[in-house]
Structure 1
Amino acid sequence: MVFYFKARPEAGDYTIFMGLDKFENEELIKYGFPEDIWFHVDKMSSAHVYIRLHKGQTIDDISEGNKVNNIDVVYTPWSNLKKTASMDVGQVGFHNPKMVRTVRVEKRINEIVNRLNRTKVERKPDLKAEREAVNAAERAERKLQLRDKKRREEMERLEKERQSELRSYKGLMVSENMTSNKQIATTSKSLQELEEDFM
């Protein structure tokens, strides 16, 4: 079971979610998104809470709320979570400790907690399928961008060839574009008319 909450639009309209227990936390660790920011109360047993940022946002775009007084909350991007075989279910480490931030929360703000609880929805998502769907969409988008890039490059190449052809002299000295003196003599034009045609 995963619990979903909705932040109010003026706070960023983020989706906030957390697992029911350490087994769901394990799934959330495994199938997170690059836009996910992981939160945990430091040095206490607590839920793993995630905020899913919008594309293009960073960890600097979020603000914090709390449920308990005088606690430190650590948070880091999902991509910084490290899981090794020796760790217990739901336990994580960090690839880069410098990417872990801590915020001191002095006082619980009940208004925020109550508002979030009113948005709470329980679901049993297929986290693996959601992650695979996002991966497939990202691959399709990259493929489309690559195809567009190749098409643009081909159009540019053809235009360069066309411009080069226009600037070259190789089309001027082609026999079918030339007129011999014999052909000129067979026409009924005067020398002056021929000179005017030439000019």
Structure 2
Amino acid sequence: MVFYFESNVVSPPTLLFMGFDKNENEDLIKWGWPEDVWFHVDKVSSAHVYLRLRPGQMIDDIPSAVLEDAAQLVKANSIMGNKMNDVDVVYTMWSNLKKTPGMEVGQVGFHKEKEVRKIRVAKKDQRNS
């Protein structure tokens, strides 16, 4: 079952989706919407978190508080990343995700590396414990 969250750091709240395991991550990869922004802890296994943009909103319009909230959620749902400080979280538009037949379940690449952004998460936010 895919989890749904509301980020209340802005008003109105922003909708976030998260896969419970690699199979649900695979479903999210397959059924994402063009206005979805994908988040993942860089270089370690983690949940896939998706932020659904509002009509007309662009990736560069995401408020920093919402970016931090999504990054904290993906960090909190990474077995290794959750234990680390100074973790990079990568994010990009769903349409930039590339899935090829030889990839593992839940694994993705990118069509354009230059469209991948990073946010640094210095430490765990205790609200997400």
Aligned length: 113
Which of the two has higher C-alpha Rg? Answer: 1
Return the structure number with greater helix share. 1
Change (3 A) 1:57 1:70: same
Q: Tell me which of 102, 108, 111 is aligned to 1:86.
A: 102
Give CA deviations for 1:109-132 in whole Å, capped at 9, x if unaligned: 223x26xxxxxxxxxxxxxxxxxx
Percentage identity across paired residues of the two chains: 60
- RMSD over aligned CA atoms reads 1.5
Give CA deviations for 1:35-93 in whole Å, capped at 9, x if unaligned: 10000001111101111111111111223231343100000000000000011111000
TM-superposed deviation, 1:9: 5.9
1:50 and 2:50 equivalent?
A: yes
Where does residue 64 of structure 1 map in the other structure? Answer: 68
Where does residue 79 of structure 2 map in the other structure? Answer: none
Change (3 A) 1:9 1:110: closer
Return the structure number with greater strand share. 2
Name the structure, 1 or 2, with higher relative contact order (CA <8 Å, separation 6+): 2
Give runs of aligned pairs for residues 187-198 of structure 1, distance below 5 A: none
Instruction: Provide the C-alpha distance between the structure 2 equivalents of 1:30 and 1:18, rounded to a whole number of angstroms.
Output: 14
Any unmatched runs of 5+ in structure 2?
77-81
Instruction: Provide the C-alpha distance between the structure 1 equivalents of 2:55 and 2:61, rounded to a whole number of angstroms.
Output: 12
**After the TM superposition, which segments of 4 or more aligned residues of structure 1 sit over 6 Å from their partners?**
none
Structure-2-length-normalised TM-score:
0.81
Structure-1-length-normalised TM-score:
0.54
Where does residue 110 of structure 1 map in the other structure? Answer: 126
Any unmatched runs of 5+ in structure 1?
115-199
